[in-house]
Amino acid sequence: MIPERALIQPDHKTEIRKTDQFPTYPTPDVGKYRQAEKILGYDPLFDINAYKGLADLKPQVSEEEFDRRKTQLNLRTRHNLETALGERFKVEISQVTYQVIDGNLQSPEHDERFIEIIKRGQRYRQKNGSKETAREHAEVEGFARAEKILTDPRFDGVKIIIISPRGQNDSMYQHNFFDIWEKHGDCVTISRYTTSTTYKQFMKAAAAFDQFNNLPQNPCDADFLKTPLLTYKSLEPILALFPPDGNTITRQELEEITAICSQLIINYVNNPLLKTYNALLNFADALAGKAPGLEAIIRKTAHFQTYSTPDVGSLVNYFGSFPVRQVAAGCGLQTDFSSIVSGQLSVVNSPFSVAEFGKSCPECQTSADHFHCPREKGGCGGKIPSGAGITKCPHCSLTKEQAGSNCA
């Protein structure tokens, strides 16, 4: 997994000036925060529902199983917050590691194959009227192909590149990036790089890496996504063919920002509230110099790790009260929630990938593994935990065999 940056404290090599009293500063100009349509790229309401759903499961599972699920949900939530910060500042590279289990990739954050999460997200998008089903189907297809290749011993040492171009102007997928897959033992690491590469440059790079690729003459975004490129080249010549995005921060800078925000992240994990999430984004903006009206609260020196931070309660109360600078994050905006209608919240939780729509149950928005007692088979629709040895619905006594399907 990506290192738990929320648990890492910055290495203070210079003197930090302590803040004895939390000061008051003028309210910044909020007009610039209100210029774009409100579409969320990350939705804390899903986290709130996920923890509520986990609490509801507590009477139905053993203490050991509950603790395991809580640890897993905490890990997933921390990772999601760190990912949201990376997207917000367009980090130049991010990484995630999957375990290879029986030929399938699986994340420690989930109790199922990751391909199932992507498929569930694709089905959810299609069910809810997606206009980009070709792209979303292609993402499923590309992931499945890459997974099959990397777990095949005949391709030992190969790298796989999957290109994910920005969609059209009306697309919800506005990030431009590529992934490099590498297998090391029983783990697969996927490194994601943001880039300013055009479609024409993507095509040229694809030909340079894999002359036997099946891309058409004028490929669209879906064509790239479903076509894993195979190469044995080292990293340097690969990166040389993809112009970097000039408006990014380095991974080290992101790690330093995340480390300083660690107490806000921990506070959110312990009690996910919208105000805490808003405070995290605003405080991180101030650290990165992205919010001129807020950054004066931080005493800036040569590096991010030398900031002085007030107590977490003061941070939440102060930074959580301001509107959040809007930032396009793939399919949506990271912003505050005062003017978001509830109908939008259920369809906008995918920063980069259709997989984001599959990480929470579309029926109840919780993340714990479960299925629903099917109403169409005479059930009550109640939530039943998976993998806990429960053979019939604790709410209406319908058997698990009669229920027949997992949450999807």
Residues 168 and 233 in one domain: yes
pLDDT digits (tens, 9 = 90+) for 64-118: 999 999 999 999 899 889 888 888 887 878 888 999 999 999 988 888 899 998 9
Q: pLDDT-derived band of residue 148, with 50, 70 and 90 as boundaries?
A: very high
Query: Is the residue at 408 inside a domain?
Result: no
- Asked which of 199, 224, 248 is the last residue of a domain, the reply is 248
Residue 115 · residue 105 · CB < 8 Å:
yes
Block residue for tokens 């997207």: 87
pLDDT digits (tens, 9 = 90+) for 348-378: 333 356 555 666 554 554 444 555 666 656 6
Q: How many domains does the chain have?
A: 3
For the whole prediction, is pTM greater than 0.75? no
Tell me how far apart the alpha carbons of residues 209 and 46 are, in angstroms, rounded to a whole number: 40
> Which residue segment(s) compose the domain that 396 sits in?
370-403
Three-state SS annotation for 84-105 = HHHHHCCECEEEEEEEEECCEE
Residues 57 and 143 in one domain: no
pLDDT digits (tens, 9 = 90+) for 254-307: 899 999 999 999 999 999 999 999 999 999 988 887 765 555 555 443 333 444
Across all residues in the chain, what is the average pLDDT? 75
Residues 232 and 270 in one domain: no
Residues 104 and 233 in one domain: yes
Residue 208 · residue 160 · CB < 8 Å:
no
The pLDDT score that the predictor gives to residue 151 is 93
The pLDDT score that the predictor gives to residue 370 is 54
Residues 198 and 240 in one domain: yes
Cα angle, residue 188 at apex, residues 187 and 194 outer, rounded to 5°: 150
As given in the structure block, the two tokens for residue 284 are: 């991180």
Residues 266 and 357 in one domain: yes
Residues 192 and 97 in one domain: yes
Considering 17-26, 57-66, 379-388, the range whose residues carry the highest mean pLDDT is: 57-66
Residue 19 · residue 324 · CB < 8 Å:
no
The pLDDT score that the predictor gives to residue 339 is 33
What residues contact residue 143 under an 8 Å CB cut-off, 6+ apart?
114, 115, 118, 162
Residues 257 and 320 in one domain: yes
Residue 44 · residue 273 · CB < 8 Å:
yes
Residues 243 and 96 in one domain: yes
Query: Is the residue at 333 inside a domain?
Result: yes
Query: Is the residue at 181 inside a domain?
Result: yes
Residues 239 and 101 in one domain: yes
Residues 98 and 227 in one domain: yes
Residues 360 and 384 in one domain: no
Which DSSP category does 385 fall into? Answer: E
The percent of residues above 90 in pLDDT, for the chain, comes to: 41
